[in-house]
Every structure is written in structure tokens, then in C-alpha cells.
Structure 1
């Protein structure tokens, strides 16, 4: 069984975005692993494994427009089902 069930991916479009600030906030406030937040001050891609993807969405939406949101259930995928 996986420790973190949901693979959460999205793009944030905004102004003055900071990879470091996003990494720091998510690391300190949302339990999970495999965090990637990469991009520039206008567009950041976030990838994170967590059991609470709604918290990632809520935080990222507070920073700008979010889109290309993908949340996959890795536990289902591990069992050969569609995620």
C-alpha cells in the first residue's frame, strides 16, 4: 500500500511566482513527497504526491490561475485499474 495515494499535478499562471516559496509552503504545510515546483515568475508546474490534493489546489489557486489539473489515484494504478 502506498503512503501517499494521489499524484497531483497542475500549472499556476500568475505574477511574481516563486519556486522557492511554493516549495517551502507545501513542504511545511501539506504532508506528502516527491515535490517538484519548477518554472519562472509567470508559470510554475507543481507535481506532488499527497493524500490531500484539495489542499494543494486551494493553496495554488491562491497564487494565480490554475489549469491542466491532473489528480491520479496511484493506489488504483498499482492494482491494475484506471487511476
Structure 2
């Protein structure tokens, strides 16, 4: 069984985005692993494994427009099922 079930990925488009601040917020406020938040001040790509993807969506939507949202159940994938 995986510790963190959901592979959560999305793009954030906004103004004055700060990838370091986003990384720090995730580290200090969410339980998960495999964090990747990279980009520039207008576009950030987020990848994160968590059990609470709705919290990630809520936080990121407060930073700007979110799109290309993908949330996959990695336990289902490991069993050969659709994620």
C-alpha cells in the first residue's frame, strides 16, 4: 500500500508567482512526497503525491488560474486498473 495515494499534477498561471514560496508552503502545510513546483513568475508546473489533492487544488487556485489538472489514483494503477 502506498503512503500517498494520489498523483496530483497541474499548471498555475498568474502574476508574480514564486516557486520557492510555493515549495515552502507545500512542505510546511501538506502531507505528501515527490514535490515538484517549477516554472517562472507567470507559469508554475506542480507535481505532488498526497492523500488530499483537494487541498492542493484549493491552495493553487488562490495563486492564479489552474488548468491541465490531473489526479490519478496510483493504487489503482499499481493493480493494472484505470487511474
**2:35 alignment partner in structure 1:** 35
SS at match of 1:77: helix
> Which whole-Å deviations, capped at 9, do the CAs of 1:44-70 have from their partners, x for residues lacking one?
000000000000000000000000000
Paired position in structure 1 for 2:66: 66
| Equivalent residue, structure 2, for 1:80 | 80
Which aligned segments of 4 or more residues in structure 1 are displaced greater than 3 angstroms?
A: none
Q: How does 1:8-27 map to 2 (within 5 A)?
A: 8-27=8-27
SS in 2 for 1:81: coil
Provide the secondary structure at the position in 2 that maps to 1:45: strand
Tell me, what secondary structure is at the counterpart of 1:75?
helix
How many angstroms apart in 2 are the aligned matches of 1:26 and 1:67? 18
Under a length normalisation based on structure 1, what TM-score does the superposition of the two structures give? 0.99
TM-score by length of 2: 0.99
Give 5+ residue unaligned stretches, structure 1: none
Segments of 5+ residues of structure 2 without an aligned counterpart are none
Query: RMSD in angstroms over aligned alpha carbons?
Result: 0.3
